[in-house]
Structure 1
Amino acid sequence: MIIERAYRGSVETQFADVLYFVRELHRQSGGVDIALRGPAAGYAVDTEFEPAIRIAGRVLDSLPDPRHSLRQLLDDGVGVWVEEPDLAVLGPSARDRLVPGVHVVPAHEPASRWPDYERVWFF
């Protein structure tokens, strides 16, 4: 699965973000791998940010946390790759703050593996 779009409307989706969907596909299909590209490369970088917003004076803190979801995927055995140029855009320390278990690969390297997979999906 190639994941390029990072934001999918946190308030609308709440717990069911794209990584939640990936986890369910992994469970039902017997296994998936994901490559993070573009803005979604930020999912692979550890941060202290806590997803929450204030709406009309009320704090909504039940928003999805992609780093938590990514850790669950890794624990489930999902292979996770992030393309190096997209990681580099996030700053010089991004590589040092990778979520453990995420692999950094050169640009477009995951595409060379597509023939090894039954299907390739883009999100």
Structure 2
Amino acid sequence: MPETTTARWLVMIERAYRGAVERQFADVLSLITELHRQSGGTDLALRGLAASYALTTDYEPALRIGGRTLDTLPDPRATVRDILAAGVTVLVEEPDLTTLGRTAADRLLPGVRVVEGGGLAARWSSYEQVWFL
């Protein structure tokens, strides 16, 4: 029987979406873990402002409406931690970190990998599919 290899997919997210109350159960980041489970191998590249999802922060997503605090807003950093825990490789290009400030590289979530500028495009041919979400 011939040996089969698992084709990896690369999913790229470039636009940061700060979330909304309506999000509740589905957003583009929530899709990544399921794609990984079904495909057997998905890598996630966070580019542009979406690279900020890979940084630690003290910010807690909450919204004050009148006298009520809504604290069930999406937290992209928590979702990226879940994605990493599921075995997805998370990549960020170095120039995108630089744009986020000089301390950004020091605040990367554990497990996030930094690639050189243009390094993602150079790897595209090694993937079965490249998706931009």
Determine helix, strand or coil for the equivalent of 1:11.
Answer: coil
Distance 1:9 1:75 in 2: 22
83, 88, 111: which one aligns with 2:93: 83
The number of residue pairs the alignment matches comes to: 123
Larger displacement relative to structure 2 (32-41 or 102-111)? 102-111
| Aligned-partner residue type, residue 46 of structure 1 | T
Task: Report the CA distance shift for 1:82/1:9 in structure 2 as closer, same or farther (over 3 A).
Answer: same
Q: Shift of residue 78 of structure 1?
A: 0.6
30, 33, 36: which one aligns with 1:20: 30
Partner of 2:42: 32
Structure holding more strand per residue: 2
| Cα contact 1:15–1:62 (8 A) shared by 2 | no
Structure 2 residue runs without a partner (length 5+): 1-10
Distance 1:53 1:27 in 2: 33
Partner of 2:71: 61
Q: Shift of residue 67 of structure 1?
A: 1.1
Cα RMSD after superposing both structures:
1.3
106, 110, 125: which one aligns with 1:115: 125
Task: Report the CA distance shift for 1:63/1:20 in structure 2 as closer, same or farther (over 3 A).
Answer: same
| Cα contact 1:8–1:17 (8 A) shared by 2 | no
Q: Shift of residue 8 of structure 1?
A: 5.7
> What is the aligned-residue identity percentage?
63
Tell me, yes or no, if structure 1 residue 7 matches structure 2 residue 17. Answer: yes
Structure holding more helix per residue: 1
Structure 1 residue runs without a partner (length 5+): none
| Cα contact 2:29–2:80 (8 A) shared by 1 | yes
